[in-house]
Amino acid sequence: MSAPVRNAARHGLLAGALLVLFSLTFWAPTFWVSIAVQALIFAIFAMSVDLLLGYAGLPSFGHAAFYGTGALVCAKLALANPGLGLPALIGGPMAAAALLAVPFGALALRVRGVYFLMLTLAFGQVLWALAYQAPPEWLGGSDGLIGVVRPPLELIQRVDEQLWLLAGVSPRVPAVRHFYNLTLGAAVLTLAVLALLVRSPFGRTLEGIRENEHRMRALGCPTFRYQLAAFVAAGALAGLAGALLTLFNGFANSSSLYWTISGLVLIAAIVGGVRTLVGPALGAFVVLIVQDALSSYSQRWPLVLGAIFVGFVLFLPNGLLSAGRALVSLGVTGRRARDRP
- Which residues are CB-neighbours of 100 under 8 A, at least 6 positions away? 65, 66, 69, 235
pLDDT value for 324: 57
The rounded distance, in Å, linking the Cα atoms of 200 and 194 is 10
pLDDT value for 333: 46
Q: Are 31 and 174 in contact (CB under 8 A)?
A: no
Q: Are 135 and 274 in contact (CB under 8 A)?
A: no
What residue spans define the domains of the chain? 27-257
pLDDT value for 40: 96
**Mean pLDDT per segment of 10 residues, for the chain of length 341 residues?**
57 77 83 92 96 93 96 95 90 97 95 91 94 88 87 76 65 75 94 95 95 93 95 97 96 93 92 90 90 79 81 79 57 48 50
pTM (2 d.p.) = 0.90
- Which residues are CB-neighbours of 1 under 8 A, at least 6 positions away? 9, 328, 329, 332, 333
DSSP string, 318-333: T-HHHHHHHHHHHHHH
pLDDT value for 183: 95
DSSP code for 104: H
pLDDT value for 22: 84
SS3 of the chain: helix, strand, coil, percent, to 5? 80, 0, 20
Q: CA nearest 81: which of 197, 73, 262?
A: 73
Cα angle 240-86-15, degrees, rounded to a multiple of 5: 60
